[in-house]
Each structure stands twice: as structure tokens, then as C-alpha cells.
A and B are shown apart, each in its own frame.
Chain A
Amino acid sequence: DGGITQSPKYLFRKEGQNVTLSCEQNLNHDAMYWYRQDPGQGLRLIYYSQIVNDFQKGDIAEGYSVSREKKESFPLTVTSAQKNPTAFYLCASSKDRGVTEAFFGQGTRLTVV
């Protein structure tokens, strides 16, 4: 089945630790995105990549880092510099630079303990 796989579904992190969220897609999509979802704030863009080995900051990139070494993979690292990392993180992809339909993964819920 084609789609986007995010792992893990739930993640707990101690304060001061970096943690990496996985996102893999087998849709052969060029563009991939990371969003953060908080209650009442909608979906806020963290980073996006429209081509391998290139990515751009979104609206709330501070405290996060990404890489795009392979077309199908776009991992997100939440660093200790992110002051309030507890949130629901969503990865998405779309076919090309032209955003038509964005396909989302099932999300990773990160909790700082």
C-alpha cells in the first residue's frame, strides 16, 4: 500500500534530550513537510523540502532540524533548544512543487516528561 509512515506513534522525551521523528513515504513524491499541531492553533509549518538535499524553514523552525538525504525520507529532530516540544507532529508529502493534494501520516505525539 502506498502512503506515509510516521514512527513512533507515541514518544516520550526527557527535558534536555534530542529526539528524532521518522517519516517515510513510498508515493514517489518530491515534496515533504513537517507540521506541528497544538489545540486551537491549527497546523503550523516547521520545515519543508521540495527536492532531495534541499529544505526550507517554515514558520516555527526554531529548535528543530531536518535532513533530506533520500527522496522517501524526511526525519525531524526536536532539539533541546525547542522550549515547548510537547505536541502532535504531522508529516505530509505532495507530488511535486505544485501543491495539489498533500497526504498526511498518522502523526507522532511527543510528550516531554
Chain B
Amino acid sequence: QQQVKQSPQSLIVQKGGISIINCAYENTAFDYFPWYQQFPGKGPALLIAIRPDVSEKKEGRFTISFNKSAKQFSLHIMDSQPGDSATYFCAASFNTDKLIFGTGTRLQVFP
């Protein structure tokens, strides 16, 4: 129940395309869903986050879509750029407890 399942493991997208990464969870008590971006050899950094009282949050080219009934949330990267090439992690937490991370998606955007 504590797991967050992330897919796909890797993703190749052409420049200008849409990148979509999906996550699913079981624990309905989760109340905070962030996405982190990690470049090689660096620590992850918060990209965007959502709480379950909204179904979508957009920040620039990055959008989180949240489906509470399906217990799924996804990251959409519009107009993907080579600089977006990184590993992306979804995560979840509940009631001020620790973050549970997905297994990560390696995104490669080719020009």
C-alpha cells in the first residue's frame, strides 16, 4: 500500500513532442504528490506538485494531471526540449510523513 508505481522506465521523445509519465498509488490517504527532476550526477529538484483537491496543475510547459478515483497522476511535458532530458521521479506522502518515491523515468529528448 505504500508503493508508488511509475511508468515507463524510459522514454524517448522528439524535440517539440509531448512527454507523458504516469504514476499509480494504492494508499488513498496520500495527500501530496510532487514530481522531481534529476540530471546526471546531481540531486533531484522539485519540479511541480499537486494536492488531491485539484485535478490539474500547470507551470509553464509542465502539467500534472490528477485522477483521484483512479488513484493515478501523470506528468505532461509539452514542447519537449533536449534540456528536459533527465530522470523524473513521482512521489507521494500523507499526513506530514515521509515521501515515497516511484522508480524513476529516464527521458531522452532528441533534436
Q: Which residues of A contact B (CB under 8 A)?
A: 4, 6, 33, 35, 40-45, 48, 58, 90, 92, 96-107
A78 to chain B, nearest CB (A): 18
Contacts A/B (CB < 8 Å), 19 sampled: A33-B99, A40-B9, A40-B103, A41-B103, A42-B102, A43-B44, A44-B101, A97-B96, A98-B96, A99-B97, A99-B99, A101-B34, A101-B49, A102-B99, A104-B44, A106-B41, A106-B42, A106-B43, A107-B41
Instruction: Look across to chain B and name the residue whose beta carbon is closest to the beta carbon of A58.
Output: B98
Instruction: Say if the beta carbon of B110 comes within 8 Å of chain A.
Output: no
Q: Encode B64-78 as 1/0 by CB contact (under 8 A) with A.
A: 000000000000000
A75 to chain B, nearest CB (A): 17
Q: Which of A43, A96, A100 has the most CB of B within 10 A?
A: A43
List, in ascending order, chain B residues with CB within 8 A of A106's CB.
Answer: 41-43
B19 to chain A, nearest CB (A): 18
Instruction: Say if the beta carbon of B63 comes within 8 Å of chain A.
Output: no
User: CA of A72 to CA of B36 in the docked complex: distance in angstroms?
Assistant: 23
Chain B contributes a number of interface residues (CB within 8 A of A) equal to: 22
A30 to chain B, nearest CB (A): 11
Q: Which residues of B contact A (CB under 8 A)?
A: 6, 9, 32, 34, 36, 41-46, 49, 89, 93, 96-99, 101-104
List, in ascending order, chain B residues with CB within 8 A of A40's CB.
Answer: 9, 103-104
A26 to chain B, nearest CB (A): 16
User: CA of A92 to CA of B42 in the docked complex: distance in angstroms?
Assistant: 12
A40-B9, A42-B102, A104-B44 known; 6 other A-B pairs, CB under 8 Å?
A: A42-B103, A48-B98, A58-B98, A104-B43, A106-B43, A107-B42
